Structure 1
Amino acid sequence: MDTTPTTAETTTRVHAHYENTKKLGHWTTGRLFEVRARRGMVVLDLRSPRIPDGDIEIAVDLDHSMVKLLVPQDAEIEHWDLRYTGRGRVKDWTGENGGGRRVRITGEIRHGEIRVHRGGVATLSAMFSREFVQDVRRARREGTTPSVADPAHEG
């Protein structure tokens, strides 16, 4: 797992062409993302306190793909500028936008979906991954606290 943080000035690009890509824990300090996926899956963890204040903007180009966003419980998801070709949707089970950080999603979905996991569900999504197991093993070796399950908890 590449844990090198990216800078806040640049747009972070994530590609998943016929593969699964997971960016968990403290993987970025940026607020601008560009996600392109073709028949793949992308998981973006946006819960880190290292991401500067302000809106997070995600430009997507999905073709038969799924993007899972792990966000804080009070995040506001805005997807007004998202275009759909064929089947596509944004699944936010709680459907309740809070007064927290705004996540703007723009771009196009062709036969795909975006899933929003908030709070405890986001924590569970991160914990049921190989990256979490690797992070726990690393933290045990180094005597630190794992950051994948809850990036806000820095120990």
Structure 2
Amino acid sequence: MDRGGSVPTSQVIEYCFSGVSKADAKRILCRESGIYSYLKTREFREVQEKAFSGDEKAMLVFRLFAYQIAKDIGAMGAVLKFDVDGIILTGGIAYSEELCAEITQYVEKMAPVIRIPGEEEMSALAEGVFRVLHGEEAKVYRTGSV
């Protein structure tokens, strides 16, 4: 009840008081963590290329990335009481069929998984609203849903 959630607070405090400057701590924690800290790249395509070219470390990072995304999807499903119609994988990483397949194996029992590569979420939402406003599609209200 009194901890900082999933952040390893003791380690963060130790790090911040280890002599590192505030600017360096911010840079490292905000720009040089995550996948970058392991593979020194911000390009997911590079991670995938390394992973599927036999780089064991890159494959481990690839699989852990998918695992973490799946955990986050599961957490979102839980707060929706698993009343989930679909799981949409979108954005730049959805171009990776391999990553989407890795994520899907964890979450497909929750709801159908839909892959929409690219960053088309906003235009898809706008098009849906347009169809409803022009009577081309009916509004759907679900009772008992959030």
Which structure's CA Rg is the greater one?
Answer: 2
What TM-score comes out, normalization by structure 2 length? 0.27
Identify the structure with bigger relative contact order (alpha carbons < 8 Å, sequence gap 6+).
1
Name whichever structure is richer in helix by fraction: 2
